[in-house]
Amino acid sequence: MLAYLLRRLGVAVLVALTVSLITFSMIYLSGDPAVALAGESATEEDIESIRRYYGYDRPILVQYLDWLGRALTGDFGQSHYLKAPVAEVIFERLPTTMLLGACALTFALVLSIPLGVLAAIRPNSLIDRLALTIAVIGQAMPSFWFALTMVLWFGITWRLLPITGSDSWANFVMPSIALGYYVTPAVMRLTRAGMLDVLATDYIRTARAKGLRPHTVLFKHALRNAIIPVVSLAAVQFGFMLGGSIVIETIFAINGLGYLAWESIQRADLPMMQAIVLVLSVFYILLTFLADMLNAWLDPRLRTA
C-alpha cells in the first residue's frame, strides 16, 4: 500500500507542477500584462513603469520560479483591484464554495446511487425507466436554465426560498440542487452499470446459493465492488463543482470563490485569477489522489496495478 501511495503521490506532484506552469502562463496568453494593467490611454513610459514595478521585465523563468516559491508559502501577491492580499481574500471566500460543492455532491449521491441500485435490481421495470428519464433530463438540461427556472418558481412565484445570499441553509437549497442535478445522471448510470455487472458474477450467485440474506449480498458484496468507479467519479465531479460553481454562484449572488472568479475576470485582476485557478486545480488533484487511495482500500488488487 505504501508503494502505491508513493507512486500516486509522485504523479499528483508532477501534475500540480504542470498546472502551476500553465496557470502562470495565463498572464501572457492575452498579450503583455503591463499593457492590460496600464489601460488604453497609457503612454509608453507608463507601461514601462508598470512593467518594472510588477517585475514583468525580468526573464519569464525567473518570474515563474519566484511566483511558484511564493505560492508554495501561501503568498499569491496583492490584488490589483481590491488592494488586499490575494490569499486572504481567497480563503475568506473558499469555505462558502466548499459548502456549496459538498451540499451539491451530497444531493447528487443521495439521489443517484439509490436510483442506480434499484434500476439494476429491477432492469426494464418502471423504476428503471424513471431513472433513465431523470438521467436524460439531467444530461440535456443546462444547469443555468434549471437554476433560473427554480428562481422563477420557488423564489419569485411561490416565495418559498431566498434567491440571493449565503446567510442561512435555505440560501443553499436551490444552488445545491441546480449544481448537483447536473452530475446526477453520470453517477446514476455508472452505479447501475456497475451493479448489473457485479450481480451477474459467479461469486454473487455463490453467495445467494449459500443462503445469505438478500440485503447482505446486495450491500456487503455487490455494492462494495460496484461503488469503486463511483468513488473516482464523485471525486472528479466534486472538483468540477468547485470550478464550475462560477455560473451558479453568479446567478444566486453567493459570495464564494466562483463569484470572486467572475469578478476578477471582469476587473482583469490577474493575480487573483491566477491564484483561483491554481487553488481549484490543486483541490482537484488532491481529490483525485484521495479517491485513488480510497479505491485501493476498497479493492486491494488496485495496489499492484
Determine the Cα–Cα distance for residues 115 and 117; give it in Å rounded to an integer.
5
CA 47, 52, 54, 58 torsion-angle sign: positive
What's the gap between Cα 73 and its chain centre? Answer: 24
On whether the CB atoms of residues 279 and 92 are closer than 8 A, the answer is no
Can you give the pTM of this predicted structure? 0.86
Angle in degrees, CA 151, 265, 21, rounded to 5: 125
On whether the CB atoms of residues 261 and 171 are closer than 8 A, the answer is no
On whether the CB atoms of residues 130 and 192 are closer than 8 A, the answer is no
Determine the Cα–Cα distance for residues 176 and 280; give it in Å rounded to an integer.
18
Other CB atoms within 10 A of residue 214 CB: 10
Determine the Cα–Cα distance for residues 292 and 302; give it in Å rounded to an integer.
9
What's the gap between Cα 205 and its chain centre? Answer: 38
Angle in degrees, CA 115, 120, 121, rounded to 5: 100
| E strand intervals along 98-172 | none
Domains along the chain with CATH numbers: 14-72 (no CATH), 86-304 (1.10.3720.10)
Q: Name the residue among 222, 220, 219, 228 with its Cα closest to residue 202.
A: 222
Per-residue pLDDT of the chain in tens (305 residues, 90 and over written 9): 678 788 888 888 999 999 999 888 877 776 778 887 777 778 888 888 988 888 888 898 899 999 999 999 999 999 988 889 999 999 999 999 999 999 999 999 999 999 999 999 999 899 999 988 988 898 888 889 999 999 999 999 999 999 998 889 999 999 999 999 988 999 999 999 999 999 888 888 888 888 888 788 888 788 888 888 888 888 888 888 887 788 899 999 998 998 898 888 888 788 898 899 899 889 889 988 888 888 777 777 766 65
